[in-house]
Amino acid sequence: MINDPSPWFWLVAGVLTCAAEALAPGVFLLWIGLAAIATGLTSFIVSLGFAWALVAFGVYAAVGVIIGRKVYGSRDIVSDRPNLNRRAEALIGQTFTLEDAIENGEGRVRVSDSVWRARGPDLPRGARVKVAAVEGGVTLRVDPA
């Protein structure tokens, strides 16, 4: 069976893989399972040896994954909080107080219970600043508020 799997092997493997998608959802196993089912159906029509069955499975799997990426990858997720997992970008436009003075272009700004590195014009400690941009995900570029 290993050297020359029957069409039933591919069909059963495909159904089991599609069923595994229900246990581990992610829409990736679905395309692999469908590729195995297509390989089994092709093996019923044309007698495929082991090597050609693997080639057919690989082609079907690649096509299935490409179709899956086109169908599911192009969907934009609309959210009322688009910066939920991008904390730094969510700070743009907000006003905060300098924790440490900005000297030579660098200082620190208090944001809630944390302190962020800040870059901007020299300002004294306690000055109010507005976040203009984020640099490197960890440094806030600020302007006087």
* 3-state secondary structure string across 22-39: HHCCCCCHHHHHHHHHHH
Where does the pLDDT of residue 87 fall: very low under 50, low under 70, confident under 90, or very high at 90 and above? Answer: confident
Domain presence at residue 79: no
Q: What is the pLDDT of residues 7-38, one digit of tens each?
A: 888 899 999 998 988 887 766 788 899 999 99
Instruction: Using alpha carbons, list the distances in angstroms from residue 13 to 43, 61, 111, 133.
Output: 14, 13, 53, 52
CATH number of the domain bearing residue 107 = 2.40.50.140
Task: Examine the domain organization and report whether 91 and 64 are in the same domain.
Answer: no
Task: Examine the domain organization and report whether 59 and 21 are in the same domain.
Answer: yes
92: containing domain: 87-144
Domain presence at residue 78: no
Please tell me the predicted confidence (pLDDT) of residue 75: 61
Task: Examine the domain organization and report whether 65 and 94 are in the same domain.
Answer: no
Q: What is the pLDDT of residues 31-63, one digit of tens each?
A: 899 999 999 999 889 888 888 889 999 999 999
CA angle 30, 36, 38 (to 5 degrees): 100
Nearest Cα to Cα of residue 101 among 112, 93, 109 = 109
Task: Examine the domain organization and report whether 68 and 91 are in the same domain.
Answer: no
Mean pLDDT (the chain) is 86
- 114 neighbors 96 (Cβ within 8 angstroms): no
